[in-house]
Amino acid sequence: MCGIAGIVTRDGSAPGPAILDRLAGALAHRGPDGGGRHVREGVGLVQTRLAIIDLDGGRQPILDRDGRAIVANGEIYNYRELKSDLPGERFATGSDCELPLHLYRRYGLGFVSRLRGMYALAIDDPLENRVVLARDPFGIKPLYVCEGPFGLAFASEPQALVASGLAEARVNPAALVQHLQLQFGTGGETIFAGIRRVAPGETLVVERGRVIDSRHLSALPGGGVEPGDAESLLYQLDSVLMESVDLHQRSDVPYGMFLSGGIDSSVVLAMMARLNPRPVLAFTAGFPGTGVHDERGHARALAQAVGARHVEVEFGERDFWELLPAVAAAMDDPAADYACLPTFKLARMARREVKVILSGEGGDEVFGGYGRYRTAMRPWPLGKPMRRHGTFHDHDIVRIPLDGWRDGLAAAERAEDVAGRSRLQVAQAVDCADWLPNDLLVKADRCLMANGVEGRVPFLDPLVAAFAFRLPDSAKVHKGLGKWLLRRWLERTLPAARPFERKRGFTVPVAEWIAARPEIGELVARQTLMAEIGKPGAVEHLFRHCDKRTGFACWTLLFLALWHQRHILGHKTEGDAFDALATR
């Protein structure tokens, strides 16, 4: 896991060292174990390294015998298998990230189809005088680009492009509306005007500072549903899960997992316990003294059932106010997902013992877990599109037009509604296009990388996804429950999980904490962003009456105000959220 960045100039000049220094400096938190750079005419690449595999020899950039160079962020889990498929090839390192370079030399732009892992990478090919950028099909690892008179620049985080001076700290109004209504952005545009995401599964060819070719590798298989009897499907599920978790545990450093007690993390725990001779190290967050469900008791029982070592991390009101500025600073692509709060603290605590964490992200999307999927499955006119109403649908707070906030989702719905797919598959594919990469995976990437921890997601493995997506709808949703096949597997493998009991949704009690300190509303209202978008007096009124109905709107405004302070105005303050918002 690392940070990568680079420039491809239009005039063929070598990028200056000062700009490369700024890019590397802005990504230093992603790579506390070292860094490197590669410069030639027209091209400059930098990398900051979090050493996971081949600790001593895996430094980047890595060069081949013809002078091609690679910088990569991520893990290629099948690197051992790929090496065995390249007899006679000479490898300079034991790093998994060297393999894409050899595959590119042999197979050209089709090299990405052979990779099983998470990655954002750049290959400089001086023989063709081009740079190739590629991102994994689910978008687990981030990659952003901007263009200008200088050419094209890329980085693992948009804040690095701003810090380098190659992009402006300027808000994209259309994306801001999406963040207000959805909590995340859709498609390629980001909240920074002029910076866009490389799409999940996209490969770009850049020559002389311009994109000349773009190709796409889908995360989800083509075709419709594949039938199968229950016992056969359970056997196949066990096989693909075991292989994926085994691959995701490949590491030269200690690893553990995040255990929420839900279906997905319980499955990961059960499989890790099967595969590891030593006790699994599991971390669980809880919210003591609040009105939300505390999952630590159930997670503790699961850990005891498999002999895992269980670390419980309390997240309270004090943590909320004290950590918010650091979380907003880390979330430069500002997905206002309140799960970023416990994720950030869990990563901070986990870093004391491990550098790699496995988690259950992606289980709902590929196995059909969300309640909104069950609504989408209903025939017309009972079936309804997902996310019909935005956060401020019932709140007369914002004075800027909120039109068009759903355009990106509608585009994804049209694009994913392909022949042969069931309504459930379409809904899953829509979530995999935007919600998953632009919310859940952004949250995990930024919160873990800010604390020097690599996150791995075995449900988002190509073979797991190919199996799960083409399951019959009845193996995903049955008797009003999602993830039916996963539940059946868990019932056999880890009965203590009680998988057929109704589970409470994961909630962070942000409304309770904000309601206890309504004076924060005045500070939020005074911020530059709120003055531009909020109606006079409406923001303070919202915070004075914060409750379950209005809590998420309050949280969204608070988070975006802190984000704007840091990433647009450039304020870097010490202290809690009150201190940060008091800075003028």
Work out how many domains the chain is built from and give that number. Answer: 3
Query: Catalytic: 2?
Result: yes
pLDDT > 90? residue 88? no
- The single residue of 2, 146, 546, 554 carrying the catalytic annotation is 2
207, β-bridge pairs? 210
- Residue pair 243/274 in contact by the 8 Å Cβ criterion: no
**Per-residue model confidence as pLDDT tens digits over 211-234:** 999 999 999 998 778 888 889 999
Q: What is the mean pLDDT of residues 442-467?
A: 97
pLDDT band at 506 (very low <50, low <70, confident <90, very high): confident
Q: Do 72 and 109 belong together in one domain?
A: yes
Task: Give the CA angle between residues 239, 241, 242 to the nearest 5°.
Answer: 65
Backbone angles phi, psi at 215, to 5 degrees: -130, 160
- Residue pair 60/6 in contact by the 8 Å Cβ criterion: no
pLDDT at residue 243 in the model: 98
Q: Do 476 and 529 belong together in one domain?
A: no
3-state secondary structure (DSSP) of residue 29: helix
Q: Which two tokens stand for residue 327?
A: 């979380």
Q: What is the mean pLDDT of residues 383-387?
A: 81
Q: Do 426 and 568 belong together in one domain?
A: no
pLDDT > 80? residue 322? yes
pLDDT at residue 1 in the model: 63
Q: Do 239 and 203 belong together in one domain?
A: no
Q: Do 537 and 460 belong together in one domain?
A: no
DSSP 351: T
Task: Note whether residue 519 is domain-resident.
Answer: yes
Can you tell me the distance from the alpha carbon of 125 to that of 210, in angstroms, rounded to the nearest whole number? 15
CATH number at residue 172: 3.60.20.10
pLDDT at residue 240 in the model: 98
Q: Which two tokens stand for residue 556?
A: 């969204």
- Residue pair 353/424 in contact by the 8 Å Cβ criterion: no
Residue with tokens 């302070």: 565
pLDDT band at 378 (very low <50, low <70, confident <90, very high): confident
Q: Which residues contact 435 (CB under 8 A, 6 or more apart)?
A: 184, 365
Task: Note whether residue 393 is domain-resident.
Answer: no
Q: Which two tokens stand for residue 78?
A: 């099948």
Domain housing 566: 510-582
Q: What is the mean pLDDT of residues 413-428?
A: 94
Task: Note whether residue 53 is domain-resident.
Answer: yes
Q: Do 95 and 170 belong together in one domain?
A: yes
Mean pLDDT of the chain: 95
Task: Note whether residue 412 is domain-resident.
Answer: no
pLDDT at residue 291 in the model: 87
Backbone angles phi, psi at 578, to 5 degrees: -65, -45
